[in-house]
Structure 1
């Protein structure tokens, strides 16, 4: 049975993971001696990040879990391997791309791309023990424990399949152990019991279990001094004894040590784990998830939670999915968990788990979901955001006179300059688009008379609805349809509050149930886009993310070319029925595509200007299949306008208003997805006039 407090414990577990990653990231790869000499005792975050960039430790868990959505609740190892190909860009972002035979993930990814399916792709037999037994088998595994609460054996079975995509031997056993520990932490109260349940799912004679049991015995004999225990680990299971860039055994020893000597205390455990060094973000992230789940929200001090503000970013190939918030992840994981367990959704959370609640609901204790507050005038900002009985509470001081205003908002798009660094190369498409409708409930609790207006920032332009005067103590529902826009790029959305009276006052307002819906109505003008430099080796076209290929801007158009295959995407993964129009100008080759209903790198539809003057409707299922085709006398060096109209499983293809094809996909159709462009086989193509609009009623 799923525990009654599952949602809260799940929330604490995923928060613990993200806290651990953020805590350990600045000293990743350091030794204990380096850490002690530089910082002394590490007891809090070491860096005050402007924005914490993406990390492989959070990329993997959230995106690999999508195998259950894309391929079913009992997804196989092979299907989990396809999930790798679907969401990870080719040799940039997401993982450490350290070279074939050096980086385990890089090795497995190229195996998968070459047609070697999982679990062979990660096996000892394929790659050798030194590659297969690196740390990645456990660092990406947390969500398999979170999605199987109080079911360690089942969690371990999912983890075995997931870890085997890239690892073998102890690399897989580590994933099974961590997932089982997280699962057990939902129903146990003692860390010792959690560890025993975690070890029970892996073979008795494997090295991973032998090392862990050795440390348990050492702790029983020497329970006081964790530093002496670490000296024992370093002497017997140190990096010098294991091959590869980051072997799982030394790091697993540090994890077990920290949980034993941390005695079930969240902060103490994370600090010990971080002080030991080695692969700190990975180790502290795994331990943070186990301890967060075990201790619950009440066991995590606010000093750990506040800098996160419930937000984190990723670097998948799907840009609109890369800006995340923790409560939304909790809802996503829980919706799968109840289905796996065959249990009905609890009434308290039914609307959330069925997808009928607002995106930003603030119903989880202490949640803020990445919202911020900012003043409109030049003055010292004195503000506070917090959760107040299931709503977002903003306290803003020093509204000096009538006309002073402040914004409570959420970022819906990011740029490189927003971040402290470019670790793991995050990349983004907006989450919100012109033509969609925003809604929110607001209430003025105290302070001066206020007006409130929903607004969005389209690049540098602020667009807003007509303001409404708030009656103190009463909830007011605000709605705003963002106007259709050329060159749309919505960067933030929220509520603009303006003081209508008072002097030097303090405003207290509440927000709840902020949501957005509807079909986009906008265009992309490549004259307005730019090349964004995330690092010397990683560049993206603004609003777009790319899988592979050369994508650049030339004289106001998008240029794409490749040696084998190249793809780039923008828009929302959740878009369903829409009309997408693009203009293509083939330069070289015979495979020039506009993509739609893109769900990732191996799941999409495309219209292709193909050889012999053909127009083909294709479906990408880890390779493009022809669904239908017709004659279309396209020419190199000339522009051709194509439109795809999408209604459920039906795809209607037009050019200049004339219908060319109509096809209904009856074989597991893709019913949602974003837009993009792709080329193949050495082709080179130019693109302009990307236009997305609602489908007209026939």
Structure 2
């Protein structure tokens, strides 16, 4: 039986970081040629997103990108399916249908026959299951052999440490949802290499392992053999010569389509060989070589992150501090969209242990959302800029010690903090308005923190800290979509003192919370110096909140707190009106942390084939719902949807359009109670193999429109 190798957790974290760094490095000039990069940018040694001397796509560093969203969203299918021994392509295809919102999330929506992934999605949507959805037989060789099968493989490798056979199998099943032929061979080879990199550092041996999982006569093998031979011919000293040879034999002009896998796979092998044992050299080569830079550098970054670990990433320029672990995973499961490298690494680590049948390691501080136990981790925490006169600068970094149950903490250092000024450090719980200027990929996300939730954090004052007090604070959007702070109680600190702060988030009036953090202040007229250590910060459980239009359409950020999986989401009339032109559409808000709760709403069907109220929603295809339809003259049904619908209870109900109905669902563990107009209609236990134990709330409509003023939620 496979076992988990030593150092697994930290290497997964390094692999996730490597993926992010590679994508963020290469994204601004994705698609550029080597010649253009050298002419306009020169060798890529660091992030260029803020360079003003070239016409780059965007100033953003942390961006919504298919390479990130697909890589970390699709492996969630493992948990959704109960960690089966052999996850199938069809199950992963179902995951696509669950997590992707058409034309809005994860993929490049370039059109059928133009975008490989869009083509495959339309096949899946029309009822064609994977792997046929991505087959050459159905879509043609050009469409099926583009790069996408390769760029999403890293998660499958990171749940398969030291097990290249499992990694190659999972990568193939995932790749075949949308790709075929050489694209699948490339996916298998890279996944096997990354999995073996947990236990083997030698690049040549990793290549031999990877080649063992692809056919002897395939083009990808010939590419690898050629690049290895060219590398050996110059003793690994002239990557630019080999790049030119690749362009001459395997360049874009030799293949049809927008972004063929073969040229880019060749550059991945180029960077892997010439990068040797240097993460920095591998990143420079993968990005400077051109073509699909974010995809290629993302794969190379993950491989080298696993191989060289955090020490390898930290051996050169500081790639980590500017991103502070931050990432967006834009899916229909919006509560998991605002995330970071630690959260995603922990999910993969848990999956890796589950797949070998071992007990996952206990996470520090009872699994706190933010804990900093990985060296250098920041989880989005950064000092708020001192642009306002009242904000004082801080230094933030990860250090050893000062943790009750873990090994590390976040050090918040300050000097000469003056009375009358404050210093703040915070992490995002939602997105800012600047997100709307990000190109190409839309971000669908729900806030991770809501009214009524209890925030808990432990802090420790340094031994030389001055006269300082600390309090929790949050920034909340208002009717002008501007941010305003709200505060918990202030606590004075003495040198060496530790304290646990708790704060129940007050009613924000329907406006979303953008960030959560700490504020420092001193009453000493001489000012204060010192260091405050943040051990952990966390919250969980359902909120006590009303989700509604908080003003007369003066603001918009509250609306973006809903994931929109419907044709239209209107806010002009009653407050919330959901319309779907054909089939099932929904809007939702919340996360899988919302487990036991009561949700209610007074809903008016305006015109609909089916409609209702959803709970524990985990995407487009996974939820419970109290639904009304037209069967037998009218029916009310309590159902569970997990790609297929299971009726848990049903009864006749002659409902009418244009009439409001008060709906309520109560969910506690596997028990579900449903009421209509104050009368309980169903009480059931979902004792199936994999009940849905947590998730968002939602409004669901099938071919029509429904309206409501608000959705109310409270914990049980």
TM-score range relative to shorter protein:
over 0.9
Partner of 2:56: none
Q: Among 650, 656, 662, which residue is 1:635 paired with?
A: 656
> 1:408-463, CA deviations, whole angstroms, 9 ceiling, x for partnerless residues?
22111114325652441112211011121111111221342111122333334533
Cα deviations by residue, 1:333-363 (Å, 9 ceiling, x for unpaired): 1111112123344xxx4235xx932111110
Aligned 1:193-592 pairs, distance under 5 A = 193-223=205-235, 224-301=237-314, 303-345=318-360, 349-351=361-363, 356-374=366-384, 378=389, 381-389=392-400, 390-401=408-419, 403-418=420-435, 421-445=438-462, 446-459=464-477, 460-484=483-507, 486-528=509-551, 541-565=559-583, 566-592=585-611
Tell me which residue corresponds to 1:658.
679
Instruction: Give the superposition deviation at 1:231.
Output: 1.0
Superposition misfits of 4+ residues, deviation over 6 angstroms: 531-534
**Cα offset for 1:649?**
1.8
CA offsets, 1:252-292, max 9 Å, x none? 01111111122221111111111111100000000011111
| TM-score, scaled relative to structure 2 | 0.92
Where structure 1 has 5 or more consecutive residues not aligned to the other structure, the ranges are 535-539
Within 5 A, what are the aligned runs for 1:89-100? 89-100=101-112
Paired with 2:497 and 2:532, the residues of 1 have a C-alpha distance of 11
Report if the CA contact (8 A) 1:433-1:488 is conserved: no
What is the match of residue 185 of structure 1?
197
TM-superposed CA distance for 1:3, in Å, is: 2.2
**Kept after mapping to 2: 8 A contact 1:529/1:542:** no
3-state SS of 2:362 partner? helix
Deviation at 1:230, TM superposition (A): 1.0
Q: Which residue of 2 aligns with 1:69?
A: 79
With over 3 angstroms needed to count, the CA separation of the structure-2 counterparts of 1:530 and 1:42, relative to structure 1, is farther
Q: Does residue 615 of structure 1 match 2:636?
A: yes
Contact 1:382/1:398 (8 A) holds in 2: no
Across the aligned residues of Structure 1 and Structure 2, the Cα RMSD in angstroms comes to 2.1
Is the contact between residue 576 and residue 673 of structure 1 (CA under 8 Å) also seen in structure 2?
yes
* 1:504–1:568 CA distance, 2 compared to 1 (3 A): same
Greater Cα offset, 65-74 or 660-669: 660-669
Q: Are the structure 2 counterparts of residues 542 and 363 from structure 1 closer, same or farther at C-alpha, using a change threshold of 3 Å?
A: same
Q: Decide which moves more: 659-668 or 73-82.
A: 659-668
Counterpart of 2:117 in 1: which secondary structure?
helix
The answer to whether 1:692 aligns with 2:713 is: yes
CA distance in 1, matches of 2:664, 2:552: 22
Post-superposition offset of 1:533:
8.4
Q: Deviations over 1:76-121 (max 9, x none)?
A: 1111110111111112221111111111111111111111111111
CA change 1:671–1:255 in 2 (3 A) is same
| In structure 2, distance between residues paired with 1:375 and 1:32 | 37
Moved more, 465-474 or 659-668: 659-668
Q: What CA distance in whole angstroms lies between the structure 1 residues aligned with 2:553 and 2:461?
A: 41
The more displaced of 245-254 and 324-333 is 324-333
Of residues 133, 141, 158 in structure 2, which corresponds to 1:129? 141
Q: Deviations over 1:28-52 (max 9, x none)?
A: 0111111111112221111144552
Q: Is the 8 A contact 1:99 1:107 kept in 2?
A: yes
Q: Secondary structure at the match of 1:564?
A: strand
In structure 1, C-alpha distance between the alignment counterparts of 2:241 and 2:66, rounded to whole Å? 31
Distance 1:512 1:351 in 2: 13
Corresponding residue number in structure 2 for 1:3: 5
Q: Which stretch shifts more, 454-463 or 363-372?
A: 454-463
- For the 8 Å contact 2:153–2:171, the answer to whether it is kept is yes
Contact kept in structure 1, 2:574 and 2:708, CA below 8 Å: no
TM-score relative to the length of structure 1: 0.94
Q: Distance in 2 between matches of 1:395 and 1:19?
A: 26
Q: Deviations over 1:221-243 (max 9, x none)?
A: 12321111111111100111111
- Measured in 1, the distance between the counterparts of 2:391 and 2:521 equals 17
**Aligned partner of residue 642 in structure 1, secondary structure:** strand
* Distance apart, 1:625 and its partner CA: 4.3
- TM-superposed CA distance for 1:313, in Å, is 1.0
Q: Which consecutive unaligned segments of at least 5 residues does structure 2 have?
A: 51-58, 401-407, 478-482
SS in 2 for 1:600: coil
1:375 Cα offset (Å): 6.5
Provide closer, same or farther for how the CA distance between residues 485 and 642 of structure 1 changes in structure 2, counting only shifts above 3 A.
farther
List per-residue Cα deviations over 1:500-523 (Å, max 9, x = no partner): 215344342110121112331000
Are 1:28 and 2:46 an aligned pair? Answer: no
Q: Aligned pair in 2 of structure 1 residues 15, 464: CA closer, same or farther (>3 Å)?
A: same
Deviation at 1:486, TM superposition (A): 4.4
CA contact (8 A) 2:610 2:701 kept: yes
- 8 Å CA contact 1:448, 1:502 repeated in 2: no
Partner of 2:695: 673
**Structure 1 residues 2-58: Cα deviation after superposition (integer angstroms, max 9, x where no partner):** 222111211111101000000000110111111111112221111144552211001
Compare 277-286 and 92-101 and name the one that shifted more. 92-101
Cα distance change, pair 250–51 in 1 and its aligned pair in 2 (3 A): closer
Equivalent position of 1:537 in the other structure: none
568-577 or 447-456: bigger deviation: 447-456
Contact 2:423 2:519 in 1 (8 A): yes
